[in-house]
Amino acid sequence: MIKIPLKVIDAAGLHARPASILAAAAGKYSSKLEIEHNGKRSNLKSIIGILALGITVDSEIAICADGEDAVSALTSMVELIKENSIAR
């Protein structure tokens, strides 16, 4: 599993709008994609799963990928997160 750490910069944290953007983008990949926060992991393809982590501004998160297209999926997801000013 490949993991990239990030820090949330969106003042509202990881709320419904960015969660839906991430889940939609993650759904395009066959790899297992997860988001990690405070030792808990959730499926990045699930809006509910992302929201359940209760991620707030300045939170440390990690995007994790495992599978056939893990490298391209992880690269794409991190770019999307940064482009949408969700985390850095």
pLDDT at 2: 96
Specify the pTM. 0.93
Q: In DSSP terms, which residues pair with 42 in a beta bridge?
A: 35
Q: Structural domain boundaries of the chain?
A: 2-83
**Six token digits for residue 80:** 């999307």
**Six token digits for residue 26:** 């993650």
**For range 43-50, the mean pLDDT:** 98
Q: What is the pLDDT of residues 25-46, one digit of tens each?
A: 999 999 999 999 999 999 999 9
pLDDT at 54: 98
Torsion from C-alpha of 87, 81, 84, 86, nearest 10 degrees: -30
3.40.50.150, 3.20.20.70, 3.30.1340.10, 3.30.360.10: which CATH number matches 2-83? 3.30.1340.10
Give the CA count within 13 Å in the CB-facing half-sphere of 83.
8
| Confidence class for position 61, pLDDT limits 50, 70, 90 | very high
Out of 2, 9, 15, 66, which one is annotated catalytic?
A: 15
User: Does residue 15 carry a catalytic annotation?
Assistant: yes
**For range 54-76, the mean pLDDT:** 98
